């Protein structure tokens, strides 16, 4: 059984994510560790790259530039639409939603409401941000064939679709 993070393993990690100024944006502290199938695009690219080869018990600290995290902001992904596009009204800055497009579902955040115009931003909320992580690998195991076929981790007792 492997105790090193590599492609097609299931890694469990405790982590804390902060911005360069030290403000914490997420942490597994006080919760179960984050568990994911390595090499199957379940994590931002830089995160996986930085923990590859880490052994159980190893701690790593690293900083990810936007291109290795959630990408650069794209102002072309900010649009103004009519308020009547939101049935039921009640639209407020900070509301999140999902639009259907030819490419599938696209999450967005409402960034402004002015009269009957609503500005929506399809960029990920962390786009354009540099992120710092402290990560401790707490467990690694080989992925089972069903997990590899499905492209995600299954919990105890298997997984039912």
| CATH assignment at residue 65 | 3.10.50.40
Q: What is the pLDDT of residues 62-117, one digit of tens each?
A: 999 999 999 999 999 999 999 998 888 789 999 999 988 898 999 999 999 999 99
Q: Residue 43 has what DSSP assignment?
A: S
Residue 15 corresponds to which tokens in the numbers above?
A: 């982590």
Q: Six-digit token pair at 129?
A: 């941000």
Q: For 51, left (φ over 0), alpha (ψ -120 to 50), or beta? A: alpha
The answer to whether the CB of 18 falls within 8 A of the CB of 25 is yes
In this prediction, residue 158 carries a pLDDT of 47
Task: With 0.85 as the threshold, say if the pTM is over it.
Answer: no
Domain extent at residue 109: 75-121
pLDDT exceeds 60 at position 59? yes
Q: How far apart are CA 76 and CA 58, in angstroms?
A: 41
Residues 66 and 142 in one domain: yes
User: Measuring CA to CA, which residue among 142, 122, 144 is closest to residue 6?
Assistant: 142
Alpha carbons 39 and 52: distance in angstroms, whole number: 10
Q: In the structure, what pLDDT confidence band is assigned to residue 1 with cuts at 50, 70 and 90?
A: low
pLDDT band per the 50, 70, 90 thresholds, residue 60: very high
pLDDT value at residue 111 = 96
> How far, in Å, CA of 127 to CA of 55, rounded?
30
Indicate if 65 and 96 belong to the same structural domain. no
Total domains in the fold of the chain: 2
């Amino acid at each position: 059984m492997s105790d090193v993070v590599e492609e097609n393993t299931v890694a469990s990690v405790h982590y804390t994510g902060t911005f360069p100024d030290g403000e914490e944006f997420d942490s597994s502290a006080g919760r179960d560790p984050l568990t994911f199938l390595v090499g199957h695009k379940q994590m931002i690219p830089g995160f996986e790259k930085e923990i590859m080869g880490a052994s159980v018990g190893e701690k790593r600290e690293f900083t990810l530039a936007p291109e290795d995290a959630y990408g650069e902001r794209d102002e072309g992904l900010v649009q103004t639409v009519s308020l009547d596009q939101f049935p039921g009204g009640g639209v407020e800055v900070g509301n999140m939603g999902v639009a259907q497009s030819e490419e599938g579902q696209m999450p967005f955040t409402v960034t402004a409401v002015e009269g009957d115009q609503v500005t929506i931003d399809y960029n990920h909320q962390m786009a354009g941000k540099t992120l710092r992580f402290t990560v401790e690998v707490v467990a690694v195991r080989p992925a089972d064939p069903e997990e590899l076929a499905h492209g995600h981790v299954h919990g105890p007792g298997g997984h039912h679709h």
